Structures are given as C-alpha cells and as structure tokens.
Structure 1
Amino acid sequence: MKAARYHGRGDIRIDEVPEPEVGPNQVKVSVDWCGICGSDLHEFLEGPLFIPPPGSPHPLTGQTLPVVMGHEFAGTVAELGAGVDGVSVGDRVAVEPYYVCGHCAACLEGRYNICRSLGFVGLSGAQGGFAERCVVDRRWVHPLGGLDTDIGALVEPLAVGYHAVRLSALPEGATAVVFGAGPIGLVTMASLRATGAGQVIAVEPAAARKGKAPEAGANVVLDPTEVDVPAAVRDLTGGAGAEVAFECAGLDAVLASAIASVRPGGTVVNVAIWGQPATVSMNSLVMSEVAVVGSLAYRDDHPDTIRLLTDGTVDAGRFITGRIGLDELVEGGFRQLIEHKDEHVKILVSPRGLS
C-alpha cells in the first residue's frame, strides 16, 4: 500500500509499504482523510523533533525514521482484531493517535497525554494517517456516528483547542484572548464559543487570518501592528484585562503580550509547540501572580468534541481550505501551508486518492 514516510528534514517520500496486520484488541482503519498539522510542518522544516532519529528508537514502538506521518485522521473500520467490541466493520471512526506506556505516574493518574514515554501515531513509528490503512489499539478508536469522515479528520485538532479551554477553567461568560489565528488558534476560538465564553478577542497581524477569526467565534480582532494589544484588551474589559489568554503562536513577543493582557491573578495557557526555548520575564508573572499553564494535545476530549460537531455547535467544515491526494502531499500540501499559510487553515489528504 502507499504511505508517506519521513526520511529526514525536508525529505518526505510516497513509499510502497506492507499492509499492517491487525493484532488482538486492535482495529484496522481504512483512512479516508488525514489533515496536515503544524507539527508535521515543524518536522519537515526543522526535524526530526518528535520523530525518533537513527540510533534513538522510540521507547514504545522501538522504531526510528523513516516513519509514516499523519495523525489527524478518520476513516472506516476495515478489520477487527480478537477481543474488540463496540465497533463494527464499516463504522466511521476518528483516531486519538497515541502510544502510552500505561504504568508511569502520569498514566496511573489518568493523565495519559503526558505519559513519560508518550508517542504519537504518525510521528513515532510505522503507523500513520498518511497511509491507505492504519492499525491502532481499540481504546483510541472513536465512533463518529453520522458524521462524515472529512469532518472526522478535524476531531483531533479541535480536541486540542477543547482541551486547552477545559484546562483554563474559564468561567462561563468571561473574556478570553487568543493570540494567533492559525489552525490551533481558530479551533481554540471555536471551542471557547462552544463552551460559553462571554467575549473572545483574537490577536493576529495577517489579513487573511484576521478574516477567519470572526467565523471561528471571535467578537473582536486586534492587529498587534496597529494597536497596543494589552492596552486594547484592558479597554475592552473595563480596565481589568482578560481572565485567560491562549498563546497559540510560539513566539517570545506574543507570550509577553499574553501575560500583559490578563488581569491580576489571570491565567495564560500555552497551546503552541515551540521551535526554540522561550524567554519570559519572570517578574511579569510574579508581580501580577499570573499562572502559566502548559496544554498538551488532549485527554478524554474526543467524545465531547465529536458531540459538539454532531449537534452543530461547532461548524468545522469552514476550516477545510483544500483537499488533495497523497501524491500531492509535499507540493500541494506542505509547500502550500509553508508558502501560503495565510490562505489556508486545514488541507485534507486522501491516501486512496480523490474520487
């Protein structure tokens, strides 16, 4: 079967690989759609980062590059391993793309998303969504019900935003400010709107992305090249500042602005994956007792995210800005997102080709 494999920085190839075999308590998924994530772009441009390099196999998969990429995917159940129940062949499903150890302190506390040996399907081994078929453990398979699988491929990125909002403990009706209107910023705005935020303020300099923010749920869009963002946020909140800010850009200047935009005792949730060490003024945190919270991926968030999509609370279809076949992955997907990022939110890839 065809699969897109990462061989090293700037080197992704469409290879012929053996079809994976399903084992006990596993499910084989025939992949319909897989989204290209910002972390995939980081691997392409700067990696290997999360992908295990030669000589350093992943502790759970035992594998190194080349690995099959793609972790935002959905499809239909093609085959069931022994002992699997709750899903049937032909069911539409989304995949929560994890490898976890199950026995570290985080796993034993139920916080499996910060497992000490954490790995991701699509980054850590031979399985991934940029392939015609993929085998995963049953626990990571989430039925989509009546949702189409193109929307199902958006469950994973939406769950990232939903998890960040849940971690923030934002009170209903409160104000949140989201820094960055790229894909993760936009799904965070959508999650805020869906879960009862009173006012959602977006901060974004790029014209095309500013235009997408109101569609995702922003009441106000601020351009940091035109206004003093912390001052503008205070003006919009009666002088107090936002209860919570979400950092979705991974830039020092943005983090500093986020800290300055929350009220005393407020919270900054870092959602971005950084490509370099962050620099922060600790006194800015101390003098206002601002809490900075790291948010990683998702944990028990897929069912709630699927419900938000099923009942129409979140209209995820608007985030799809392109559809391509697997052979177009690099030039029609990665290059488009790198060179024309303001024009795209989510490009979906069909491993079995467009019909």
Structure 2
Amino acid sequence: MFKRFQTRLIRNFKGPLLFTPKSRIRFFTTSITRQQTSSIPNVMQAIEYYGNKDLRYVTNKPVPSIQHPHDVKIKISHCGICGSDLHEYLDGPIFFEGETNPITHKHKAGQSIGHELCGVVVEVGSEVEEGLKPGTHVVVEANGTCLDRQYLLKDEPEDICGACARGRYNACKKLNFYGLGFSDGGMADYMVVTSNRVIPYDPKVIPDDIAALVEPLAVAYHGVRQSRVDEEPKPQTLIIGGGPIGLCTIFALKGHKVDVKDIVLSEPAAARRELAESFGVRTFNPFEFKDADEQIKQLVQMTTSNAGFSHVYDCSGNKFTFNTMVKTLGAGGVGTNLAIWPHVPVDLYMLDVTLNELVLTASMGYTKEDFQLVVKAFEEGLIDPKEVAKLVSKRVALKDGIEHGILDLINNKEKYIKILLHP
C-alpha cells in the first residue's frame, strides 16, 4: 500500500515525471529541444567552486545544453550572494562534500555556484509546457531532491526518502541545491534547470534587477507560513535578527497582511534598524540592555497589555536568541526558527512551554508554492519593489564577483545586506 501511495504521489508531482506502466522513467531520444533563441555561445564566464577557499573565475566554461525534454536553459540576469555560499567558501565543503552528487551524478568540483537568481528563458526542451517559452522571465526554486532522482536516474518510485514521500520535499534527506552541489548554479552566463523548478514573473511588476531576491523572500515566506500567522486575528510579531532573512521576513509578514505597526525587529546594528524603520516597522536594540532578562522585559512591554508576542521568528540562531524567542511569546504564541544552527544544544524549560501552551516550530528552505506566493504578493501590491530594492547594497560584474562580491561581503559583513552579481 505504501508503495502504491509513493507511486501515486510521484505521478501527481508537478514536474517532468513520465512513467511507463512498470513505473520506469521514459526518456526521449529525439526532438529534445523545441524552441531556442539564436546567438547562444559555446562557452561562458562563471565562478566555479573547487573546495575550501578555492573559487575560480573562468571564461571558458562550456554553456550547458538541454539534456532532457523538460529542461529549460536560462540566460542569467542577476545572482545574489547567499550566506550559504560564504559558508561553503570558508568552512566547506558542506553541500559540496563528496566527489559527485548522488542524484545527478554530476561532479561537484568545478560547478558554478549561486542559487539566488533570475533570468530569461532562451531554450526549452520538447516536453516543456507551452506557456514557458523563450523570452519568459523566471526565477528558480533551487531545490534538488529525491523526486528529481526519479527521472534523472530512472530509480524505482519507492527509492525516495520519507520526507519526499510525505510531500515535504524541502526537507529531503538528500537535499542539495542548484549552485550548491546538485548542478551548476547562477553565477554564470547560462544555466539549465528542469521546468518544474522555474517560476515566471512579469518584469514590469518585479524589475529584473531585484527579481533574484524572490529566493530569500521565499525562504522568509515559508517560515511565516509555517507559523500560521494568518490564523491569528490580530498578530503581534517579533523578528530577532536583521540580516537578509530577518529583513525579508518583514516583507513576508506584509505579504500576509500583518500591520507593520505590529511588527518589531530586534537588531543591534543601527544601519539595519534604520532600514527596517524605513519599511514602517518598530525596532529594538538589544545591546541597550546588558541583562538578558531586562531585554526580554522591554520587548514584552512593546506588546498590547504586556501580553507578549503572538509570533516570534528567530532569524539569528544562537542560545540567547532562542531564549528570547521562548520568553517573549504570549500565551498560545508560536515561535519559529528560520536560522541554520551549528550543532549545539540549547536550554529549554518545558514548563515555560507547557504553562503558556506555546508552539515551537521551524522552517527549512522553501517549496515552489512559496515562490508563487511571493510573486503573487508583488502582483497584489502587498510587497513594494521599491522597498525591496533597498536590500541591495551593491551590484558587481561577475568577473569581479570573487574579490568585490564574495570576499568583500566576508570582510565587511555588517556593511552589506545583499550583493548581486550580473554578467
């Protein structure tokens, strides 16, 4: 029965999964490409990953080709530098660990990095849906999961992890990302992805020079959805940490129609607090109070009747911010972790959770639906592109991306929010 359930789930997956009666993948050997634009070169520039502190800018990387009838080739417009890219450079290989990816069998060394990207479709495979054609502006949901394994490796449907079997593929046990070990990413002139991973957008609504930020916005949007904030009649929310994801969480809450007056950002850096205030939210400087208990007391006093927040989002990820999240929640409140933690324990007193009937949850990455909802929020005017543009600290040509992008961000982390690279 479980086998039948998995097969049915895979068949209902909105991607390029085509089964024969024996549940084997059917590959097409003719007419792989349906449409393409002219003047696509044979080689391109890219930033490639080779290991710890080993990034290389190249100008002779072969332009990827359509290999599967559901492939889409994209000409990259912009690609953001994510904290994950910095961790791979400084502490990696992490996602890049191992010689080849177990799903794609592609060599990890020499892959172009970058997963926060936007671009224009220039070529599509023969089985790509008609609405997705050359000239379409798209963003990319960068997940690589067990569901991709089904058509890339012709595995049996039951050879998927429990998370993917339950439809939670963003928590796949073999999760990788385009640009982080799964396949080539967006710090290049071109990349190829499967059509189920692309989301169209209107450049008149979301300008190309900020569309790459849909990816971190989708991370924040998933976290807010996990918290079920829309079930609260009048939510009062606290965001801990004003980095890129913390600031994006402001927009995710706006997308859920939370009143900006009921959003508080706790952040020690003055420049980031000022930026958040320009979005209409209230801010709090935790460093004004050396004592943690006093910080918590002052935060709670920012809520109606000193009742505590209905929703708290930890976008920082340490034992102090975790404690603040738990202690500032009101009765029935929901605390959501969006941060990627190191492998360290935290103190948690369950009586605090029980007496206040708290809900503690977490958020991992995103799904395609999060991208679609972010695009919809732009279209409905819930997210202002002019405000989102303030998150972009500078734009750097790809050829200068290592020195003036990645290394500059590492050495001046407090100076920048988001750096975008462009060809």
TM-score bracket, normalised by the shorter chain, equals over 0.9
- 4+ runs of 1 displaced by more than 6 Å? none
What are the superposed Cα offsets for residues 217-242 of structure 1, whole Å, 9 maximum, x if unpaired? Answer: 52x21111113332122212212110
2:344 aligned counterpart, secondary structure: coil
Matching residue within 269, 272, 295 for 1:229:
295
Deviation at 1:321, TM superposition (A): 1.4
Aligned letter for 1:214? E
Deviates more, 1:192-201 or 1:87-96: 192-201
Farther off after superposition, 160-169 or 283-292: 283-292
Distance across 1 between alignment mates of 2:279 and 2:54: 34
> After alignment, is 111-120 or 91-100 more displaced?
111-120
Matched, 1:148 2:207: yes
Amino acid in structure 2 at the alignment position of 1:151: I
For the pair 1:77 / 2:136, whether they are aligned, the reply is no
The AA in structure 1 aligned to 2:381 is G
Q: CA 1:125–1:298 in 2, change beyond 3 Å: closer, same or farther?
A: closer
Q: 1:282 to 1:43 in 2, by over 3 A?
A: farther
Partner of 2:322: helix, strand, or coil?
A: helix
1:264, 1:289 within 8 Å by CA — same for their partners in 2?
yes
5+ residue gaps in structure 1?
none
Cα gap change, 1:287 to 1:328, in 2 (>3 Å): farther
Match of 1:306 in 2: 375
Residue 413 of structure 2 corresponds to: 341
Render the CA deviation track for 1:299-330: whole Å, top value 9, x for unaligned: 21111101222343212222111100112212
RMSD between superposed Cα atoms in Å: 1.8
Shift, 1:270, TM fit: 0.7
Cα drift, residue 47 of structure 1: 1.5
Tell me by how many angstroms 1:248 deviates.
Answer: 0.6
CA separation of 1:173/1:317 partners in 2, compared to 1, >3 Å: closer, same or farther? Answer: same
Say whether 1:11 aligns with 2:54: yes
What is the rounded CA distance, in whole Å, between the counterparts of 1:70 and 1:209 in structure 2?
Answer: 24
- Bigger CA drift: 123-132 or 100-109? 100-109
Measured against aligned partners, the alpha-carbon deviations of 1:62-115 in whole angstroms (never above 9, x if no partner) come to 233343210000000011111012211011111111112124332233222112
For 2:366 and 2:297, locate their aligned partners in 1 and report how far apart those are by CA, in whole Å.
Answer: 32
Q: Which moved more, 1:305-314 or 1:274-283?
A: 274-283
Going from structure 1 to structure 2, the CA distance change for 1:333 and 1:278 (only over 3 Å counts) comes to: farther
1:203 matched to 2:262: no
Per-residue CA shift, 1:223-272, capped at 9, x if unaligned? Answer: 11113332122212212110111111122211111111111332211101
Once the two structures are superposed, the pairs formed by residues 1-355 of structure 1 within 5 Å of their partners are 1-15=44-58, 16-22=60-66, 23-54=68-99, 57-62=100-105, 63-85=107-129, 86-102=131-147, 103-146=160-203, 147-170=206-229, 171-198=232-259, 199-218=262-281, 220-227=282-289, 228-237=294-303, 238-283=305-350, 284-286=352-354, 288-299=356-367, 300-315=369-384, 316-350=388-422, 352=423
2:210 is paired with a residue whose SS is helix
Pairwise CA distance, 1:172: 4.2
Note the C-alpha offset of 1:40. Answer: 1.1
The one-letter amino acid of 1:128's match is G
SS, match of residue 317 in structure 1: helix
The one-letter amino acid paired with 1:332 is H
Q: Is the 8 A contact 1:27 1:138 kept in 2?
A: yes
CA contact (8 A) 1:176 1:243 kept: yes
Encode CA deviations 1:100-157: one digit per residue, 9 max, x unaligned: 2124332233222112222100101441000110000000111112333222211111
How far apart, CA to CA, are the structure 1 residues paired with 2:280 and 2:197? 29
CA contact (8 A) 2:142 2:178 kept: yes
* Alpha-carbon distance in 1 for matches of 2:383, 2:92: 33
> How far apart are the structure 2 equivalents of 1:160 and 1:81?
29
Q: TM-score, normalised by structure 1?
A: 0.92
% identical equivalent positions: 34
What TM-score do you get using the length of structure 2 for normalisation? 0.78
Counterpart-to-counterpart distance in 1, 2:297 and 2:307: 10
Question: Cα 1:6–1:278, aligned 2, differ >3 Å: closer, same or farther?
Answer: farther
Structure 2 unaligned runs (5+)? 1-43, 148-159
Deviation larger for 115-124 or 332-341:
332-341
TM-fit CA distance, 1:60: 1.0
Find the residue that maps to 2:286 and give its secondary structure.
coil
Which is higher, the Rg of structure 1 or of structure 2? 2
Q: Residue 224 of structure 2 aligns to which amino acid in structure 1?
A: V
Q: Is the 8 A contact 1:245 1:269 kept in 2?
A: yes
